[in-house]
Amino acid sequence: MTQITEQLGRLQQRINSAAKAAGRDPNSVRILAVSKRQPIEALAAAHAAGLRHFGENYLQEALDKITVMDHDTVWHFIGPIQSNKTRSIAAHFDWVHTVTSPRIVERLSAQRPGDRAALQVCIQLQPQNADNRNGVTEDDLPGLAAMITAAPQLQLRGLMTIPLPDRGVAETRREFARARRLLDELGLAGYAVDTLSMGMSADLEAAIIEGSTCIRIGTDLFGSRDYG
């Protein structure tokens, strides 16, 4: 049994326990393997263990991996999006979790190849009381959701959030609950949204209890990263 298989087993136990506490089906929670700064051998081992969804933050690193991984791998871009990177993101990824502006929406839609399925999009929420953080405010959310829905080659799937670091469990859960409330409001407004991308290794239980459908797991799956 490989290290990743063992780590995946422990991770699945945590998911099962959190889902049970929330009265949810554990299968409603997707594991997104955050594979930035991990060697291709680690991704191949995770793929062999049954994982298919991989999240990358750094474009060039991701492109190098995409060219050699199995074709059934689903690629999620989860890093900040710079305007000069949108063409490659639109061409090579299946999902983008970090859409925050009309300009990025326009570029991703215009640059998505016509022979590919629509790019699956999550809007990144700005944490409350954090004007210096990436993300969309509650006030701007409806307008950006409408723009994505109207954009050719894009499909709005839901919301992504990253709570502020070094917060207690209660405050983190409030941030997750807020994201769930905003997703529900989009649904009531007629948007076909089904995805809450929230929760990482340290707070996945809180995220699942508050409704996460996609947890982003890196170190607890692959081990430490090489930033050399």
Question: For residue 73, what are the β-bridge partners?
Answer: none
C-alpha dihedral sign at 158, 90, 36, 42:
positive
Task: State yes or no: pLDDT of 227 exceeds 70.
Answer: no
Model confidence over 103-152: pLDDT tens digits? 999 999 999 999 999 999 999 999 987 777 889 999 999 999 999 999 99
The pLDDT of residue 70: 83
Please, what is the average pLDDT of the chain?
94
Token pair recorded at residue 199: 């929760």
pTM: 0.95
pLDDT band at residue 1, thresholds of 50, 70 and 90? very low
Stretch 152-163: mean pLDDT:
96
Say how many C-beta atoms besides its own lie within 10 A of residue 219's C-beta.
14
Q: Which residues contact 190 (CB under 8 A, 6 or more apart)?
A: none
Distance of CA 202 to the CA centre of its chain: 16
Say how many C-beta atoms besides its own lie within 10 A of residue 160's C-beta.
26
Task: State yes or no: pLDDT of 225 exceeds 80.
Answer: no
Distance of CA 224 to the CA centre of its chain: 20
Residue 125 DSSP code: B
Model confidence over 62-106: pLDDT tens digits? 999 999 998 899 999 999 999 999 999 999 999 999 999 999 999
Task: State yes or no: pLDDT of 226 exceeds 70.
Answer: no
Token pair recorded at residue 209: 């209890």
**Per-domain residue ranges for the chain?**
3-219
The pLDDT of residue 165: 84
Q: Say what percent of the chain tops pLDDT 70.
A: 98
Cα gap 54→43, rounded to integer Å: 8
CATH superfamily placement of domain 3-219: Alanine racemase (3.20.20.10)
Question: For residue 33, what are the β-bridge partners?
Answer: 54, 217
pLDDT band at residue 42, thresholds of 50, 70 and 90? very high
Cα gap 87→166, rounded to integer Å: 35
Say how many C-beta atoms besides its own lie within 10 A of residue 176's C-beta.
23
